[in-house]
Amino acid sequence: MSDFETLLEKAKAFHGDVCPGIVMGTRMTIAGMRELSMNPMEKNHDLIVYVEIDRCATDAIQAITGVTLGHRTLKHRDYGKFAATFVDSKSGKAVRVAAIPKKGEQEQDFRAIAQKLATVPESDLFTIQKVRVNIPDEDMPGLPTHKEFCSTCGEQILDSREVNTNGLIQCKDCAFGSYYSVT
C-alpha cells in the first residue's frame, strides 16, 4: 500500500466510508503536513489544526493527524469553508490549505468523484498559503489558565470564555442566548 492508501484507510475507518470529502481531507492533510515538514505517517505532537467546516474532510484530518477537540489540538471555526490551517505550535509555521471549488462537470457517482479526487494534481485541488496564526494562551493545550463562575446560571466557565459586561460575568449561553431550552 502507498502512504496515500494507508492514510486514506485510516480516514475511512474513522469516518465509516470513502466519500469525496474523505479523499479531500486526506489530501489536505498530506499537503498541510508536508508544507510544515511533518510526516503524516507519524503523529506530531506540535501540530494544531484549525478546520473551517464540520463535514467529512474534518474527520479525515482528525483520523490521520490525531488532533482532537479534547486535546485542544483541533480547532473548529464555523465558516462553512472547505479549508484548514495546519500550525506547527513549536516553530510557529502555519499553512492554510483551501479547496478550489469545482466548476462545470456534474458527476453523480460519489465513488467516481472520490476516485478522480485521489489522482488529480494537488495544484488543481487546493490553494496553499503561508499564514500566521496567533494562538492565545487560553486556547493552548494544557491546564486551564482561568476559571470563572457565571453570575446568572452559576455554572463554571473555563479558559476565559466568559463574557464581561461592565463587570457582570456571564457564560455565553446566558449572555447571548442558548442553543437549547429546558423542557
For Zn ion, the closer CB: 19 or 28 = 19
Which residues lie below 8 Å from residue 60, measured CB to CB, with a gap of 6+?
11, 14, 15, 21, 22, 23, 24, 25, 26, 28, 29
Rule CB under 5 A: say whether 56 interacts with Zn ion. yes
Phi, psi of 21 (to 5 degrees): -65, -35
Instruction: Find the binder of Zn ion among 86, 114, 150, 162 (CB under 5 A).
Output: 150
Helix (H, G, I), strand (E, B) or coil at 50: strand
The Cα 152–Cα 157 span in angstroms is 12
Total residues at interface with Zn ion (CB under 5 A): 8
Residues in a beta bridge with 97: 84, 128
Rule CB under 5 A: say whether 97 interacts with Zn ion. no
Rule CB under 5 A: say whether 19 interacts with Zn ion. yes
> End-to-end CA distance of the chain, in Å?
52
Q: Which range of residues in 14-22, 33-41, 67-75, 92-100 is near Zn ion by CB under 5 A?
A: 14-22
Rule CB under 5 A: say whether 152 interacts with Zn ion. yes
Rule CB under 5 A: say whether 99 interacts with Zn ion. no
Question: Is residue 99 within 8 Å of 126, Cβ to Cβ?
Answer: yes
For Zn ion, the closer CB: 142 or 154 = 154
Rule CB under 5 A: say whether 69 interacts with Zn ion. no
Rule CB under 5 A: say whether 171 interacts with Zn ion. yes
For Zn ion, the closer CB: 100 or 153 = 153
Contacting residues toward Zn ion, per CB under 5 A: 19, 21, 56, 150, 152-153, 171, 174
